[in-house]
Amino acid sequence: MCNQNGFTLWFTGLSGAGKSTISEIVSEELRRRGLLVEVLDGDVVRTHLSKGLGFSKEDRDTNIRRIGWVCEILSRNGVAAIGAAISPYREIRDEIRGRIERFVEVYVECSIEKLTERDVKGLYQKALNGEIKHFTGVSDPYEPPLTPEVICHTDGRETPEQSAAKVLAKLEAMQYIPAT
């Protein structure tokens, strides 16, 4: 029987900002410390749990609510649930926060300029040129969190490891995980 108290660690930020990378580093460290961990990555969830949803506001809200619901169940059952999804709308993130007692929001912040510069697929440039419609942060809104527990600056000011260390330090300070 596990005596771990669950929590949800919610990574939000634009496409390519580093949510998946940082959440993977954090999840590996949490597992190393003996915690039960599940990662719900937005891209993976869309191929399984949210297959068939498009990118309208309604479909995006449904996708994020589904991720939030799974995180709620996992954390209620003693798991460190990690959600890593763009989750562009503040209202839906706040709704999920309101349902999960132990919720930590991590804003993975990176400028459009830096994201465009390092985008190997060229999606940001295509969106900026009007070739891709409804691209979050360019032609569709992204509402940054107003009071996240952690802000990771992935524009070159921090390495992914430094960002992960900030997240882990916050979880330790909140006493959600044991200090090393």
| Phi, psi angle pair for 52, to nearest 5° | 100, -15
Q: What is the pTM for the complete model shown?
A: 0.93
Q: Tell me what pLDDT residue 107 has.
A: 98
Q: In angstroms, what CA-CA distances link 45 with 16, 66, 112, 128, 130?
A: 16, 9, 24, 27, 27
Name the architecture of domain 7-110+143-173.
3-Layer(aba) Sandwich (3.40)
Q: How far apart are alpha carbons 118 and 161 in whole angstroms?
A: 18
pLDDT digits (tens, 9 = 90+) for 88-137: 999 999 999 999 999 999 999 999 999 999 998 899 999 999 999 889 99
With a pLDDT cut of 90, the percent of the chain lying above it is 80
Q: Is residue 15 predicted with pLDDT exceeding 90? A: yes
Q: How far apart are alpha carbons 174 and 91 in whole angstroms?
A: 24
- Active-site residue list: 87
Tokens of 134: 């409804």
Cβ atoms 35, 177 nearer than 8 A: yes
Closest CA to 42 of 53, 56, 28: 53
Q: How far apart are alpha carbons 173 and 180 in whole angstroms?
A: 12
Closest CA to 163 of 83, 120, 106, 123: 106
Tokens of 138: 């360019």
Q: How far apart are alpha carbons 64 and 11 in whole angstroms?
A: 12
Q: Is residue 76 predicted with pLDDT exceeding 90? A: yes
Q: How far apart are alpha carbons 103 and 71 in whole angstroms?
A: 10
Domain boundaries, the chain: 7-110+143-173
Q: How far apart are alpha carbons 93 and 116 in whole angstroms?
A: 25
Band of the pLDDT at 50, cuts 50, 70, 90?
low
